[in-house]
Amino acid sequence: MNRIFPAIVFLMAVLLPQSLCSAEAPLKENDYSWMEDIRTGHPRLFLTKDDIPQIRKAAFSFERRTYDAMKKRADDLIGKPIVFEDPLTPTGEGKPNRLYGNYAADAAMMWLITQNPKYLTLAKDILRELTKYYQLRVDNDLNIEWYALSQICALCAYDWIYNDLPAYEKISFGKALYEAMCGIAWHGPGIRKARFRENVSDHQSGCYGVAVLPWYIGLTFWKEGFDDAFCEQMVRNGYDLHQKMTAFRAEMLGEKGGGASGVPWYCLGVYPYAEYDFIYTFNSATGRDVSEDLSYMMGYLNYMDWIRLPDNKEYGFGDASHFTCVLPHQYMNGHVCEIANFYGKKHPEILPVAARLLSKFTVPRAMDPIPFIRLLHKVNPMEEVEETVSAEPTGSKAMYFDTMGQLYMRSGVEDDDTYVLFVSGGVPKQHKHYDNNNFIIYKHGYRALDSGTRPEPGWHLPYYYCRTVAHNCVTIHMPGEELPKYWGGPSAVEEKDLPMPNDGGQNDLLASEIVAFEETDDYVYVASDATKAYHEDKADLVVREFIWCVPDVFVVFDRVVSDKAEYSKRWLYHTADEPDIKGGMEFTEKSQGGKSICRTLFPNDAVVEKIGGPGKQFWSDGRNWPIPEMTPEDYGYANRANVPSNEHPLVGQWRVEVKPGTERENDMFMHIIQVGDESLRALPKTRTFEDAETVGVEFKYAGKKYRIAFDRNASYGCDINVN
């Protein structure tokens, strides 16, 4: 290992360039003066010896649950052989072996807290065997797992017991662990190719793969004589990576909040631990608190508040699993606690939201991704928020997270309220679908839902799930159009590569923008132009105007102009159960305890039909794209537990398609929708009107008369009168 270090130092300087800093990023660009403050003693990773009394206090009071869980895991291993089953399996993902890094940290933490020598012995035993396991997989060019978090825990264990190791063990333990960790971390041109299922992603994703390890390796072995120059370079490059990550995430959260991805299971699952870990380790290594430089993280709270549906469900945006449709609320419990811990004292204005969220996200994970992290709290986050009145949210009924490209609307935060997501704009492409101008409505269940789900691998994901046809959008079919590829591919079960199906959908993930917005006590109005999201040779105009008449009625108006009249247009509405079409222009769907009724108002010659049922749930371009029926062995690494059957309601079983009765270039679609519980009987009576200047609808609802008139000679524009 040592003989290739000089080449790696040079390559790291190429592969990991200097930080792109912003005002939100910690410290200063190209300033490494803080490295003079790095402690030369141990422990220095996440904690110092001065923190141990506070850790003991937390362990035996407000974080007793965390302490008891760690102690039990450690006690359960004492006296038992440390066995790594199937150590040469193709991937360590989901395998018990990956957890031994956590177990090493458990044992080392118990040693710090209790000073019981049995835990020191256990920590040493685990580290000895774990290091052999790491090196075995490195020698066979195999990954450890998708996340680097357990490896960080292993480094912590060594750092925490360092002072209690005899000199020869400091060298024998250290040298072997150092070289194994270097073998895990280094990758790239001139070093090695990425291993199977190895996360080598950059600062714009989770920042929890092998690329993050240099920071922790460098700090652990700082000035220990193994290769001091290389450790210094690792710390610099690790710092630069975190600078870039925090600058990117600060930009992504913007003024109102958000995440590094628009998909909650990514941005609010493990992602934020990269920030927490950096704050804790920078502080422990240098004595400097950089939490205020990452204060953008308070924006996570606002985002968590708006994306939540009853029973901690999510809308299903992007590459979400439409199985239980539950948010990563057990992770989110930890995020709220960490943010309250870092910022509650200095920014008490965040505490009401934190209190409300903790009243919803009540159950933490059995083991946090960094299992000891809650023991580092200086204060009890629960006490901080419990002293705050958990008031219901007031003010706006809508919130646009511009960087996420998501406009959320809600009538309240209770189980029987109405919730809406409208998709337009945004920045991140990762795990985003071709769903510009899509809307999702939730009222006693998913009324208009995102259909499909994410098996990995499998046809279903790239050929249906990500496509416009799977969403509540408008399609324009241009024969011969080649749609762009999406990630994923065929499974090993009777599937093979095929050309992308022509669903008539969009070819750009982000090319839409909100061009008008208005909110009053009676309605929320938004206009979004998605023309550029479609192939330039088929679409001249695709604009959707979406009006929410508070609390349960919607008017959706689409202006669609195609290059040629023969390019057929479809207006789509996806449902969990079979819709009932009545009178040719109205349909009803009912499932999950709720109901919606939709009436087509324009075009006057509309044809309304339904597609779905067994064998046609995911119909596109003349065939079905089913969810593959597979076992975990077929996947090789994926977790089948999150992949539902083809008949699962929340993946969508039917859709309604509305098309013009006559081919023409210029079409207008207008629909009125009402949602409610199963007692909902009928839509309001409507009167449509049109002349040379306007087209619109009048109706009475909630004791008021609505007159909605769209400017038919403009690309968008609407006059809404309520009295």
pLDDT tens string 16-62: 322 222 333 446 667 899 999 999 999 999 999 999 999 999 999 99
pLDDT at 453: 95
Question: Angle at CA 133, nearest 5°, toward 131 and 139?
Answer: 100
How far apart CA 609 and CA 23 sit, in angstroms, is 54
Which amino acid, one-letter code, is at 170? K
The DSSP bridge partners found for residue 623 are 620
| Torsion of the alpha carbons at 464, 443, 327 and 430, rounded to the nearest 10 | 40
pTM across the whole model: 0.92
Taking a C-beta distance cutoff of 8 angstroms, is the pair 196, 142 a contact? yes
pLDDT at 390: 58
pLDDT at 492: 72
pLDDT at 201: 87
| Torsion of the alpha carbons at 477, 482, 486 and 492, rounded to the nearest 10 | 100
pLDDT at 495: 86
For the chain, which domains are there? 1-10+46-200 (1.50.10.100), 398-683 (2.70.98.70)
Q: Which of 534, 529, 558 is nearest to 476 (CA)?
A: 534
Helix, strand and coil in the chain, % to nearest 5: 35, 20, 45
pLDDT of 115-151, one tens digit each? 999 999 999 999 999 999 999 999 999 999 999 999 9
pLDDT at 576: 98
Q: Which of 559, 27, 645, 575 is nearest to 293 (CA)?
A: 27
pLDDT at 131: 98
How far apart CA 439 and CA 424 sit, in angstroms, is 10
Residues of the chain with pLDDT under 50: 1-26, 637-638
Q: Which of 199, 130, 178, 421 is nearest to 303 (CA)?
A: 421
